[in-house]
Amino acid sequence: MTSTFFQRILLLVLLAGCMTGLHAQEYKYEIGGMAGGAFYMGDVNKNAFFKGLNPAFGAVFRYNPNFRWALKTNLMWGQVSGTSFLAWSGDYAGIHTIHNHSNNEIQ
C-alpha cells in the first residue's frame, strides 16, 4: 500500500468529521480515579523494567466554573521499594565503599 492511499483515507475521515454536527456536554464537576504501578528506574536499576512493582492509586477532581477556566487537583499515592545490595559493583564500587550505609533499601 502506498502513502497516497493512507493520505486519501485520512482526508476522507477528516472531511466526514467536519460534516457532522458535534455537540459537547457541559459539566461543572468531573471526578475520576487512577490505578497503576510504581517502580524505580535509575542508576541502581537500569535494565529490569517493572522490578519491584508496587500498586499506585490516584483521584482527580476538576471544577469548570465557565468555558475558559478550570480548576483541577490530583491526589496520587504510590510506594517505590527495592534494594541496592547486589547493584554495587563496577563503576559504583568505590562510591559504595565511601558512602557505606547500614541500610541500603530504598523506601
Question: Cell digits for 9?
Answer: 483515507
Q: Do the Cβ atoms of 10 and 50 come closer than 8 Å? A: no
∠ CA 24-26-31, nearest 5°, is 115
CA–CA gap between residue 104 and residue 84 (Å, rounded): 6
Q: What is the pLDDT of residue 97?
A: 46
Per-residue pLDDT in tens (0 to 9) along the chain, 107 residues: 567 888 888 888 887 766 666 666 678 899 999 999 988 887 777 787 888 888 999 999 999 998 889 999 999 999 887 776 665 555 554 454 444 455 555 54
pTM score: 0.49
Q: What is the pLDDT of residue 4?
A: 82
